[in-house]
Structure 1
Amino acid sequence: MTWTVDEQLALTATEAVAAIQSGRLEAVDYIGTLLARAGALSSLNALTTLDLDGALAAAKRIDALAPEAKAQLPLAGLPIVVKDNINTAGLQTSAGTPALAGFVPKHNAPSVQRLIDAGAIVLGKANMHELAFGITSTNLAAHAGPVRNPYDPGLIPGGSSGGTAAAISARIVPAGLGTDTGGSTRIPAALTGIAGFRPSVGNGGAERRYHDPDAVVPISHTRDTVGPMARTVADIALLDGVITGAGPLPLITPSGLRIGLPAPLWTGLEHLLEDVARAALTRLEAAGVVFVPVEMSDLDALNALVGGPIAIHEALVDVQAWLDANNAPVKTVAELAARIASPDVREIYDGVLAGVLDAQYDAALNLWRPRLQQYIAATFADERLDALLFPTTRLAAVPIDELNGSSTVTIDGSGPIETMNAFLRNTDPASTSGIPGLSLAAGMTASGLPVGLELDGPLGHDRRLLAIGVAFEQVLGVLPAPVL
């Protein structure tokens, strides 16, 4: 079978694997097409490293397998990108910051290794907000540069996993890995029209769904996790199943699902975005979903007591532990911070090094976080909810700020709001409480920008949440590709 370039670019991860397993598509041809796509769209700055030789060599190995061996690989020949803060053997892991530019770890992160063992091919490393401390992916380091939104290159793609999102949205790859501390897989997914997943973290240990110790340049061990991103929820479920060894998704239909609409996360929205989100609710309701308004009036106040103190306090110790464990080229967090290129990230690290929120840390971790977790769990139980649903972000993509990396935004003429706070408001509670969250495409604004809806589920109910996401996506559809 002869595939056109457009046919190859349109393949989802699930479709690409099936075509390669069956012998209808050669991995070498597919990888070659996507490498050419990456080169042609280099102006998006989606990637910091492109592994042409390594990817083609891996594709040749896949094509050389006997049919029965190829069929046993659940990700046979699937090209992915990996966020540049996730360790990859033989490829740069710089976290988008000058002090780590060119640093190559000795081992793959466990999540990456499981995908490779299943047949995935790493096409390259994805650009990101410097050190993952931001939501714009406007990276001002010389070796990285700002990531651009494929739907409008003058706009942000979201962050901090903006490069992974932009590469998937632009059809450079069908899937990839990001990381999520406060919304970093879900925000860029929403702004670029794809799906992004934050798996359960809980209190760590057995509650943590993905285990990548000392293999990701961190912010916070309490909050950080690797998370898959793809053009469809089914593709996210495919990667999640490989990473965790989980079985098939349960079969779920929308009819009869009880979905909570948390009032605080439906307020203060950009009107164009809210119109799209409300229209999606109407379509889901017509498919049989039962929407349950939930007040959750204490959500914002509780979350505010948890998120910042944990992230700012843990960054110092956790980044130092990663530098030590990986024999990094800089030996201290102070050395790393001294070379930060982006003003917004430098300001945060000044606070990290000064310990500005240290006094709040113990209460945030041991008092307010448990209360937030109990509050959210009680909402699920008392209202008999399958999930919570709300717009992933309060507004669609905004212009790139190439001077500061991130400054302020306004929402329909409101007063200035700090950009990171504006975009994090809806995604942060799942992060601070450790529950799973999934962003999927809801539609596009009248001005042609993607809008995402987020589904949050009870702790540990990740596969069921993904199944609900698949059911919702079948109602709402996927977005058309950006015109590039």
Structure 2
Amino acid sequence: MTETPSRRDVLISSIAAAAGATMPSLGQVRFAMAQSIPSSAAEIVAAIRARKMTATSAVKAAIERAEQLQDLNAFIFLNKDGALAAAAQIDEGGKTGPLAGLPIVIKDNINTADMPTSGGTPALQNAQPARNAPSMERLFKAGAVIIGKTNMHELAFGITSTNLSSFAGPVRNPYDRTRIPGGSSGGTAAAIAAGIVSCGLGSDTGGSTRIPAALTGTVGLRPSVGNGGRERRYNDADMVVPISHTRDTVGPMGRTVADVALLDSVITGTRMAAAEPLRGKRLGIPASFWSGLDRDVEALTKAARAKLAEAGVVLVDVDVAGLFEQNAKVSFPVALHEPIADIPAYLRASQIDGITLADIAAKIASPDVKGAFGAIMADAFGAAYQDAISVQRPALQKIYEAYFRDNNLDGILFPTTIAPAPPVDTVKGSGEMSVNGGAPVPTFDTLIRNTDPGSNAGIPGLSLFAGMTPDGLPVGLEIDGPVGSDAKLLGLGLSIEAILGSAPPPKI
């Protein structure tokens, strides 16, 4: 008598098929681990489901690699005992789910009820939230095993992940330890790029999943936020150490687009995104996003663009007039005013007692973040906030809406960052960098230039691998779409990645 497949069996099989995965043998899995890069998320789950490996062996391998690579400073908290206990429960049949046994990491600003959530800042180092963030909870219930909380730019106020808190330290790029991994989700990106895990969660306010993805050869999604409510794809209100309720969102990160799509499907409870045919798709090429590029970034992203044109993508060379100027009227007034109310609201909702906004500001360790909080505590942008949120942000959104509509576009294509990863600056935390040997420019302003406008408009964006510079540094290519087009973006990403490939593993 043939046994009827369970709903769980069907879901596992569909995940593996959607990711383009073939069932690996135990020997193949061991070979992948020996090569220091694990199989994809779907392959690991499928191998555990088929009993070709145990959840304990997958989790143990991830923890051992994390311990071997401590110099990356990818973790603030390694959940060794808790992760091994969870894996053992799965192996004993006590817990099932579509991600059963999959080791993942969680950025340390996302609430976890059984682990501290520090936000990478001294005042919250031992803070213990009362409950899990919803996105993390859905992954946990699906059987994912959290091996640790990842390092980040302090309080997520930056894009280098050069955290100068004594218990954190600067995160290092696995491709070159003298360089940044990007931020603020730099620890999650470094853990994925280094082959510790295949995927995990970060958060994004102005580029914090996509910038580190670009600089580490991984994939990062900023889900739709829109104007909140039903337009917000992930709802983790009050359960993530905040910057801005208008701009913040949790976002999945992975080695491949399929890994990110898998986490997205579990978090949203929707069918996993399928590859979109590229022929006939129309992608805008705004000149302002393609200007002032590092020479290697320009060469690699233009070569990637040419490959997409050969695949039948219609590239529409139309700029978005006035976009950067309009974005400047929104960005700082929102990001440097909303924390005044949002951080106390978070502390109350998380039941973190005895710590105030003033306490957090007083103990900040990184100079660049301390400077930002000086402006916050003085409410330097208070007078500009209402105009920014009620007039200027809607105007920015209308610019995007018109650009998509008037040019009949499926998305916008551009280099995620205008330069590859710059060196770590352990003095200023953020500091300065040079593009093409020019005069020093602010690192923050330079690397966030292309990701910030879409963040303020609330549209979704996906950064994926474009190529490697002659110096061995990854470069990212981003595609943005209208609010609500997340699944389509992921589908386009699957097809684009099939053409451009994935990043080679770092030599570590």
Deviation, structure 1 residue 8:
7.4
CA deviation after TM superposition for structure 1 residue 108, in Å:
0.9
Sequence identity percentage: 54
* Residue 16 of structure 1: how far off its partner (Å): 1.0
Question: Could you tell me which of 83, 86, 110 is aligned with 1:58?
Answer: 86
Aligned partner of 2:232 in structure 1 is 208
Partner of 2:21: none
Q: Distance in 2 between matches of 1:417 and 1:316?
A: 29
The CA distance in 2 between the partners of 1:381 and 1:37, in whole Å, is 47
Query: How far does the alpha carbon of each residue in 1:286-335 deviate from its partner, in whole angstroms, 9 at most, with x for none?
Result: 11111001111211011111111001010111011112222325432111
Aligned equivalents of 2:486 and 2:349: distance in 1? 30
Residue identity opposite 2:238 in structure 1: D
SS at match of 1:145: coil
**Residue correspondence of structure 1 range 125-164 to structure 2 within 5 A:** 125-164=149-188
**Corresponding residue number in structure 1 for 2:15:** none
Tell me which of 332, 335, 339 is aligned to 2:356: 332
Partner of 1:380: 404
Q: CA shift at 1:7, angstroms?
A: 5.9
Q: Which residue of 2 aligns with 1:352?
A: 376
Q: 2:307 aligns with which of 268, 283, 287?
A: 283
CA distance in 2, matches of 1:405, 1:349: 14
CA positional deviation for 1:254: 1.5
Q: What is residue 80 of structure 1 aligned with on the other side? A: 104
Q: Over residues 59-90 of structure 1, what are the superposed CA-to-partner deviations in whole Å (9 max), with x where a residue is unaligned?
A: 11111228xx84xx211111111000000011
Write the distance in 1 (CA, Å) between the matches of 2:183 and 2:339.
18
Deviates more, 1:98-107 or 1:344-353: 98-107
Write the distance in 1 (CA, Å) between the matches of 2:279 and 2:399. Answer: 27
Give CA deviations for 1:143-199 in whole Å, capped at 9, x if unaligned.
000000000001000000000000000011110000000000000000000000000
What is the aligned partner in structure 1 of residue 430 from structure 2?
Answer: 406
Distance 1:311 1:159 in 2: 16
1:425-483 Cα deviation digits (max 9, x unpaired): 00001100000000000011111100000000110011011000001000000011101
Aligned partner (choices 49, 67, 71) of residue 21 of structure 1: 49
Normalised by the length of structure 1, the TM-score is 0.97
Letter in 2 for 1:129: H
Q: Which amino acid in the other structure matches residue 136 of structure 1?
A: T
Q: Give, in whole Å, the separation in 2 of the partners of 1:225 and 1:415.
A: 34
The aligned counterpart of 2:500 is 476
Deviation at 1:55, TM superposition (A): 0.6
Distance 2:148 2:497 in 1: 28
Is this contact kept in 1: 2:326–2:396, CA < 8 A? yes
Moved more, 24-33 or 127-136: 24-33
CA contact (8 A) 1:323 1:330 kept: no
Aligned with 2:295 (options 260, 268, 271): 271
Structure 2 counterpart of 1:199, from 223, 227, 240? 223
Helix, strand or coil at the partner of 1:438: strand
Q: What pairs with 1:300-315 in structure 2 (closer than 5 Å)?
A: 300-315=324-339
Q: Deviations over 1:82-116 (max 9, x none)?
A: 00000001111000000011212121101000001
CA RMSD of aligned residues (A): 1.2
* Corresponding residue SS for 1:294: coil
More divergent stretch after superposition (373-382 vs 183-192): 373-382
Measure, in 1, the Cα distance between the counterparts of 2:87 and 2:120: 27
In the TM superposition, what is the alpha-carbon distance from 1:363 to its structure 2 partner?
1.0
1:417 partner amino acid: V
**Of 381, 386, 393, the match for 1:369:** 393
Question: Secondary structure in 2 aligned to 1:389?
Answer: strand
Counterparts of 1:15 and 1:293, CA distance in 2: 39
SS at match of 1:184: coil
- Structure 1 counterpart of 2:210, one-letter code: R
Q: Which amino acid aligns with 1:290?
A: V
2:285 alignment partner in structure 1 = 261
Mean CA deviation greater in 395-404 or 245-254:
245-254
Corresponding residue pairs, total: 480
C-alpha separation between the residues in 2 aligned to 1:307 and 1:52?
39
CA distance in 1, matches of 2:101, 2:372: 40
3-state SS, counterpart of residue 334 of structure 1: helix
Instruction: Return the match for 1:235 from 234, 256, 259.
Output: 259
Aligned to 2:242: 218
Deviation by residue 1:198-256 (Cα, 9 ceiling, x = unmatched):
00000011111101121100000000000000000111110001001111324412211
Distance 1:37 1:150 in 2: 13
Q: Kindly report which structure 2 residues correspond to 1:447-466, keeping only aligned pairs within 5 A, or say none.
A: 447-466=471-490
After superposing the two structures, state which structure 1 stretch, 289-298 or 437-446, moved more: 289-298
Match of 2:61 among 33, 36, 44: 33
Residue 99 to residue 432, structure 1, CA distance change in 2 (3 Å): same
Q: Distance in 1 between matches of 2:162 and 2:36?
A: 30
**Does the residue aligned with 2:336 lie in a helix, a strand or coil?**
helix
List 4+ stretches of structure 1 deviating above 6 A. none
Q: Offset of 1:10 from its aligned partner?
A: 3.0
Specify every segment of 5 or more residues in structure 2 that has no aligned partner in the other structure, as ranges.
1-25
User: Cα deviation per residue 1:5-64 (whole Å; 9 max; x = unaligned)?
Assistant: 326733111211111112112111111111110000001000001111111111111112
Aligned to 2:75: 47
Shift of 1:408: 1.4
Structure 1 residues 100-179: aligned runs within 5 Å:
100-179=124-203
Match of 2:20 in 1: none
Task: Please give the alpha-carbon distance, in whole angstroms, between the structure 2 residues aligned to 1:230 and 1:59.
Answer: 21
Contact 1:99 / 1:329 at 8 angstroms: preserved in 2?
no
> Larger deviation: 367-376 or 316-325?
316-325
Q: Which residue type is aligned with residue 184 of structure 1? A: S
Match of 2:338, SS?
helix
TM-score normalized by structure 2?
Answer: 0.93
Q: Look up the equivalent residue of 1:29 and give its one-letter code.
A: S
CA contact (8 A) 1:100 1:330 kept: no
Contact residue 146 and residue 402 of structure 1 kept, 8 A: yes
Partners of 2:36 and 2:195 within 8 A in 1: no
Kept in 2: contact 1:203–1:222 (CA 8 A): yes
What secondary structure is seen at the aligned counterpart in 2 of 1:313? coil
What is the distance in 2 between the residues matched to 1:382 and 1:306? Answer: 24
Moved more, 5-14 or 184-193: 5-14
What secondary structure, in the 3-state scheme, does the structure 2 residue paired with 1:48 have?
A: strand
Secondary structure class of the residue paired with 1:9? coil
- The amino acid that maps onto 1:295 is D
CA distance in 1, matches of 2:451, 2:316: 20
Identify unmatched segments of 5+ residues in structure 1.
none
Cα deviation code 1:386-443 (max 9, x no counterpart): 1100000010000100011011112113333211110110000110000000000001
CA distance in 1 between counterparts of 2:38 and 2:196 reads 10
